[in-house]
Amino acid sequence: MLKWQALLTSGRIPGQATQVLASRSVPAAPAGTVADRAGGLLQTFPMSPASANTPKPADAIRALAMDAVQQANSGHPGAPMGMAEIAQALWTRHLRHNPADPAWPDRDRFVLSNGHGSMLIYALLHLTGYDLPMDELRRFRQLHSRTPGHPEVGITPGVETTTGPLGQGLANAVGMALAEALLAAEFNRPGHTLVDHFTYVFAGDGCLMEGISHEACSLAGTLRLSKLVVLYDDNGISIDGQVKDWFADDTARRFEGYGWNVIRGVDGHDVEAVDAALAQARDNARHHGGPTLIVCRTVIGKGAPNLAGTDKVHGSPLGAGEVAATRQALGWPYGPFEIPDDIYRAWDAREAGNKAQAEWQRKFDAYAAEYPAEAAEFLRRMKGELPAGFDEKLQALVAQACEKAESVATRKASQYAITALVQALPELLGGSADLTGSNFTDWKGAVPVRAGQSGLSFGRHINYGVREFGMAAVMNGIALHGGYLPYGGTFLTFSDYSRNALRMAALMKQRVVHVFTHDSIGLGEDGPTHQSIEHASSLRLIPNLDVWRPCDTVETAVAWGAAVKRPASVGMDVRDGGPTALLLSRQNLPFVPRDAETVAAIARGGYVLRDAEGARAVIIATGSEVALALAAQEQLAAAGIPVRVVSMPCTSVFDAQDAAWRESVLPKGLPRVAVEAGCTAYWYKYVGLDGAVVGIDRYGESAPAGDLFKHFGLTAEAVAAAVQRVL
């Protein structure tokens, strides 16, 4: 037993017996027991015995949580107070981490999926020795503090992902566990275990009510991600009250149906009981028994004598009177934000963390001596660096597209790019939400990721199933873990399903690539349910999301290059990058010849594709409508009206260019017309109130694509007429 563990167990005083809320699907348990659901039968488990009111390590979490929330007059004290013993068991006996180096590659990952309980992780980070001083806890939820209202990666050392939207942290953790399993399969060698860590999640009722929990956990069970361990805070309370009236699932059986190992009825206020469950989960992992759910029965706000077990403690400060009463009930004689030295010593993880990392470093050095190339590759990938010579390979990809001059759908052009990139980037990890044959997200020889008898079978293509939201959040977790560059595909209209995970990727600055095909009415006969109208414009409104809508093979290759070259934020090292959405056509689009200078200009997001001497107006277009703009230019030229055609595949990249470039592309004083097969409102940003936009402000129809473009007035004639109206 490690020294820091011994400090917690020697002279340990068991937690105080507490009346626990009855299980939602079985009768109330007898006094002194915890109820659990299993096949509709009541089981009972001994609760932690009563004790004298003596300060305990877990009570430090309760004190810090209630004090910080009280001082901020804002926050959620209930979850931290109710999960204190669960946290103690995990963080002092199982979690392998190093406060001195929070981001070392083989650390265990910890995700607080119920992110509203943020004071739990802040208290843990402070107590165990991370660079999070008490002054930051005093500044909880204040401007520019390192203790924001919900945990944010890159703000607080030790926070692995930004959580708050319930369920997404859990889905991120599935991605982290998947990345760990794939890296282990790729890099570990006989006698050398380079990658071997767990992903632990705290989740509450709210996380498991969210539909994304089903998507992600079903996938995790199918892939048998055995090093994923979820501790479920089963307290039966949400903001609106007792959840039994709106969440009566037999959660344990639900997860068993996913293929999870489920440990029921654990008294979440008994450190020894949680410890034993975690040991069982780790043993299960050694036997590749699938992920583990530990159902921990708890009382929300435990320790608060008048509010514990009620919704009143969920999302509000306890109040000065209840804070004082809680101190008395816990036997916690210390003032606000005051922690005694013996409690600090009990929590301190620095010595054990340094030892664990040093042990791993010895393993790595031995690995590097025998496998130097693999070791160097592992470090490169975990740093998020592109391989040497990548720019040259990217230039070759673009040059090849120029040389072939193919008129194909941009979804097909994307597959060409993927086929080249998977050779240049071994970290590229693709997939699709059950639309691989339509999204073209695979490549010749692609090996799928599959569950194996002795662990995950390595591959670089993931069949996510019909799980768009889950896919997006899992990809975020893969990116956060490090080692892989994830991309995934679906139809553009179904980006609605994954939108909040897209937003979270942008917020966290994660390099994730979304391949959105069938980008307009151009998909044709599937009709308005599948035809994107508002999607391109709405995605462009997400800060830090680069949205590319290329017009041909060359722009598609450049777009892929731009997506890959965005800086990678790996783990807690958050860099100024972000996700990319590629909006790609189902229908074939004509190749547009360009000179070398024009090809180079594509990377600037908006550029002059075809100019005309003495141009009297500018036509701005994207994607499939670039061909319409070029055709309109020819019609207008025949009528003696010279116009410039600007292709703007990525508005955010164009907007980031210097003023001189933007002025050179869109000169002041020239009337402007924009054309895109989607909502028109966004484009007035570029054309002004005196300009015109040719687009679609209604839903589509079911018909062949060519008929639809004519029906909705997306023609060269309509674009030419719009130009004449603004002159």
* Phi, psi angles (nearest 5°) of residue 117: -85, 40
Is residue 23 within 8 Å of residue 264, measured between CB atoms? no
Dist. CA 337–CA 297, nearest whole Å: 28
* Phi, psi angles (nearest 5°) of residue 456: -65, 135
The DSSP 8-state label assigned to residue 260 in this structure reads -
Report the half-sphere exposure of 213 (CA within 13 A, side-chain side): 22
Is residue 632 within 8 Å of residue 723, measured between CB atoms? yes
Dist. CA 128–CA 124, nearest whole Å: 6
Dist. CA 356–CA 97, nearest whole Å: 8
C-alpha distances (whole Å) from 332 to each of 69, 190, 270, 338 are: 17, 51, 19, 10
Is residue 67 within 8 Å of residue 218, measured between CB atoms? no
Q: Residues 136, 210, 427, 468: which is the catalytic one?
A: 468
Dist. CA 445–CA 424, nearest whole Å: 15
Long-range contacts (CB closer than 8 Å, 24 or more residues apart) made by 182-191: 182/429, 182/449, 182/456, 182/458, 182/483, 182/484, 183/378, 183/483, 183/484, 184/455, 184/456, 185/455, 185/456, 185/457, 185/458, 186/458, 187/374, 187/377, 187/378, 189/367, 189/370, 189/371, 189/374
Cβ atoms within 10 Å of 270's Cβ, excluding its own: 25
Alpha-helix residue ranges (DSSP H) falling in 94-150: 118-128, 134-138
SS (H, E, C) 588-644: ECCCCCCCHHHHHHHHHCCEEEECCCCCCEEEEECCCHHHHHHHHHHHHHHCCCCEE
Rg (CA), the chain: 28
Dist. CA 519–CA 480, nearest whole Å: 28
Is residue 461 within 8 Å of residue 430, measured between CB atoms? yes
Is residue 189 within 8 Å of residue 229, measured between CB atoms? no
What is the sign, positive or negative, of the torsion defined by CA atoms of 111, 275, 235, 122? negative
SS3 category, 78: helix
Is residue 621 within 8 Å of residue 694, measured between CB atoms? no
Catalytic, 468? Answer: yes
C-alpha distances (whole Å) from 176 to each of 169, 191, 377, 419, 474 are: 10, 24, 19, 25, 8
* Residues tagged active-site: 468
